[in-house]
Amino acid sequence: MTLKLQISYVINQSWELHVLCDLSGFNPPEVAFGTYKQVINRWDAEKPISFISSRGIVMSIKEQIKSILQEAEIYRTQGLLNEAMIKYKNAAELVEKNIKQENRQSLVDGITKKIELLKKTILKYNDPEKPPEMPVEIQNLIKDKFAFSADKESAGLEGAIALSKFGQFERAITEFSELLKNDSLRLVAAKNILRCFFATSSVDGALSQYEQWLKSGIFHEGQIKKIRFFLENLLKDKGIERKLPLADIPEVKAVPEKAIFEKKSMADIPEQEEVEEDDEFLDINSVGITITDGPQKGKEVVLDVTFQSGKSVSLIVPGREKILIEKFKVGLKLDNVQFYSPIAMLNGSGVISAFTKISSGPKMGSYSLDLKIST
């Protein structure tokens, strides 16, 4: 704490002369005119430790303590608990140093009680509580408002992910289960379902879900291998070493995928293996592309990721980014690309796998770009 002494001289009702002396001697005294309050505000000062006024009143230590306690109390009621704690401790220190032992016990007891109570509250608030299960209407709101993609499938995935991020795991599992019907999202959805079970500490739930998937045959062998690997790793993180069975149950192969869900034709969907090979990749929120030539050379354009599946990200390029639009074409390799994820920033490269102009909807005039990350 810096020790400061404020000396005030009252000239008339609205004018006072204030001198703020730094008792440590490091700073020269500051001089200001105005009412006490104005001056304090102007200085943005922590309250001086001593306040001597020309009215002849030297703010007594007791008054100072009272004033600091008042300040602490306000911070406490505002929920600024750490700030309140600092002030209570300041007050306690002042009492300790300045008040004779025989007179201070009740004050010390009072402040100690406050500090103890505050400690408990801080502990309680810092303890990460389990997010409450919200009413269905709020879950619907989250599902709706936190899905940004225009295309229904991606929006479904975003909504379900948002529900899980907001701790609504049961509902998220329901939504992800719905997405299992979708060829291109099936594996992502399955992994997210397992994540949700683990988030609710339901290892058994995850295991029985896995067994059920084995029996149901909705995943082909390559997918099941990936899910098994994923689940075994989740278990490992929990300290559980366990080898899980593979899709060796006869019905699995006997039940053709298409019979389980009514799906659109598989013809135009690339081989599953190819789509999913790297779906362990980090969640990318945005991608920074640096312009490499021309007058804007060196400028980074940051583009929002609208959808991600493994190492493939979809981006929106606003129509105004003419330099990029002119340059972009399918097959072009982009170097020095920044990938921004919530936990890390990566530098890498990527190849443009699709680039089309958006011709309707709110993003009309912008371009949709698919980038395959090759970090």
Ligand X SMILES: Nc1nc2c(ncn2[C@@H]2O[C@H](COP(=O)(O)OP(=O)(O)OP(=O)(O)O)[C@@H](O)[C@H]2O)c(=O)[nH]1
Residues in 23-42 that interact with another protein by CB under 8 A: 36-37, 40-42
String marking each residue 249-268 x if it binds another protein according to CB under 8 A: --------------------
String marking each residue 297-326 x if it binds another protein according to CB under 8 A: -----xxx----------------------
H helices present in the chain, as ranges: 36-43, 61-77, 81-98, 101-126, 136-145, 152-165, 169-179, 186-199, 203-216, 221-237, 250-254, 257-260, 272-276, 322-327
Q: Give the span between the Cα atoms of 232 and 243, in whole angstroms.
A: 7
Asked if 270 interacts with ligand X (CB under 6 A), we say: no
Minimum gap (Å) between residue 270 Cβ and another protein: 28
Asked if 78 interacts with ligand X (CB under 6 A), we say: yes
| Amino acid (1-letter code) at residue 211 | E
Asked if 148 interacts with another protein (CB under 8 A), we say: yes
- Say which entry of another protein, ligand X, none residue 198 contacts (CB below 5 to 8 A, set by partner kind): none
Considering only the stretches 16-24, 77-85, 169-177, 229-237, report the one whose residues sit in contact with another protein under the rule CB under 8 A: 77-85
Minimum gap (Å) between residue 213 Cβ and another protein: 29
Give 340's strand partners. Answer: 286, 345
Asked if 282 interacts with another protein (CB under 8 A), we say: no
Considering only the stretches 22-30, 76-84, 89-97, 189-197, report the one whose residues sit in contact with another protein under the rule CB under 8 A: 76-84
Q: Give the span between the Cα atoms of 63 and 57, in whole angstroms.
A: 11
Asked if 120 interacts with another protein (CB under 8 A), we say: no
Query: Could you give the dihedral angle defined by the CA atoms of residues 198, 201, 204 and 208, in that order, rounded to the nearest 10 degrees?
Result: -40
Nearer to another protein, 180 or 305 (CB): 305
Minimum gap (Å) between residue 157 Cβ and ligand X: 29
Integer Rg of the chain from CA: 32
CB of 287 within 8 A of CB of 313?
A: yes
- Say which entry of ligand X, another protein, none residue 281 contacts (CB below 5 to 8 A, set by partner kind): none
Q: Give the span between the Cα atoms of 124 and 122, in whole angstroms.
A: 5
Minimum gap (Å) between residue 79 Cβ and ligand X: 5
For another protein, which residue of 165, 238, 299, 357 counts as binding (CB under 8 A)? Answer: 165
Minimum gap (Å) between residue 23 Cβ and another protein: 18
Give the residue among 334, 341, 257 at the shortest CA–CA distance from 301: 334
For another protein, which residue of 13, 28, 97, 124 counts as binding (CB under 8 A)? Answer: 124
CB of 255 within 8 A of CB of 314?
A: no
Asked if 79 interacts with ligand X (CB under 6 A), we say: yes
Enter the tokens of residue 173. 């599992």
The CA-atom distances, in angstroms, between 98 and each of 49, 104, 154, 359 are: 12, 9, 67, 76
User: If phi over 0 gives left and psi between -120 and 50 gives alpha, with beta otherwise, what is residue 85?
Assistant: alpha
Asked if 13 interacts with another protein (CB under 8 A), we say: no
Bridge-based pairing state of the strands 345-357 and 333-340: antiparallel
Q: How far apart are the first and last CA of the chain?
A: 50
Secondary structure of residue 36 in the 3-state scheme: helix
How many of the chain's residues bind another protein (CB under 8 A)? 43
Enter the tokens of residue 72. 């602490």
Minimum gap (Å) between residue 77 Cβ and ligand X: 6
Residues in 4-43 that interact with ligand X by CB under 6 A: none
> Which stretches of the chain bind another protein, using CB under 8 A?
36-37, 40-42, 44-47, 67, 70-71, 74-75, 78-80, 83, 86, 121, 124-125, 128-129, 131-132, 134, 138, 141, 145-146, 148, 162, 165-166, 285-286, 302-304, 340, 342, 362
> Which stretches of the chain bind ligand X, using CB under 6 A?
78-79
